[in-house]
Amino acid sequence: MAKCVAIVLSILGALGLLEASPALGQEPLMVTDRPEFTESAAAAPAGYLQAEMGARVEGDSSFQSVGGPSLLVRTGVIDSVMEGRFEIPSISYMKREDGSFETDYGMAGLGLKVVWPITDDFVLGLLPRIASPVKLRVFQQVGMELSANAIWAWTINDRFSLAGNVVFFLNGVAADETDVSVSYAVSVSAGYAVTDRFGVFLESINRLYEGGEYVPQADAGGTFKVTRNFQLDAYVGARVDGPADGWFAGGGLAVLW
């Protein structure tokens, strides 16, 4: 059995799919998936945990809400190629137009991101994901969410980069009270490194729901690396199809250890 494992590892190494973790004393470069909707075309380094979290406020003419911690834990499986992901459910407190309050519990999710460098400057990726409400009653109402995310990223130069996602969602899977519905999202994000520590971005998000509802959004924000493995971020955005009836903003942090 040990001989078979050694052969498999040798084949992966020959194909360039298995790389050693960073040498002792050498910290890997941290690339985060927050704060944008657009997921990065980078896998967490093998042998490390990367936690990303934050708070978000949003609202429109009928509600306002605040929620968090939006916790995502990432860990490298194959260095620079594959990572495993675990999403901790967020809690949101919502105030309706009539003055009533609601508490909404998010979903726990599992995902696996795989990335393929096509050239030194262009990378593709795929992120399948499954998420489920943590309460049985809520699960019976809304069911699970399955998604598949196609990712691309283009590093134009040392300062400027573009990235995008195309996401397919199946909502209401295995629910007792909800039919399965399909939705899509397409995003493009432009990032600019002002300095080695401070970066800004501008993003377009376009969502299409079953029945033809189309929701275009835009947001902008920035990131600041306090240290090589600790980052702060903030963003603000809104719907862009007419009067700003839907807005959102937030901030958070990421840490690698």
Percentage of the residues of the chain whose pLDDT score is greater than 70: 88
Average pLDDT of the residues in 141-162: 97
**pLDDT tens digits, 13-27:** 433 334 444 444 566
Q: Lowest mean pLDDT of 7-11, 132-136, 203-207, 236-240, name the range.
A: 7-11
pLDDT score of 135: 86
pLDDT score of 29: 82
Is 75 a residue whose pLDDT tops 50?
Answer: yes
Q: How many domains does the chain have?
A: 1
In a domain, 23, yes or no: no
**Angle at CA 85, nearest 5°, toward 83 and 89?**
170
77 and 13 in contact (C-beta within 8 Å)?
no
- Assign 138 a pLDDT band (cuts: 50, 70, 90): confident
In a domain, 7, yes or no: no
Among residues 213, 216, 184, the alpha carbon closest in space to that of 203 is found at 216
Q: 111: domain range? A: 29-256
Question: In CATH, what number is assigned to the domain containing residue 102?
Answer: 2.40.160.40
Q: 106 vs 87, which has greater pLDDT?
A: 87
In a domain, 1, yes or no: no
Report the run of H or E that residue 183 belongs to, with start and end: strand 181-193
Structure pTM? Answer: 0.86
Average pLDDT of the residues in 206-211: 94
**pLDDT tens digits, 168-204:** 999 999 999 889 999 999 999 999 999 999 999 999 9
pLDDT score of 243: 62
Percentage of the residues of the chain whose pLDDT score is greater than 90: 77
In a domain, 21, yes or no: no
Average pLDDT of the residues in 195-224: 96
d(CA 230, CA 251): 14
d(CA 92, CA 126): 29
Could you report how far apart the first and last alpha carbons of the chain are, in Å?
A: 33
In a domain, 8, yes or no: no
Which structure tokens are listed for 32? 């985060």
In a domain, 88, yes or no: yes
d(CA 226, CA 203): 23
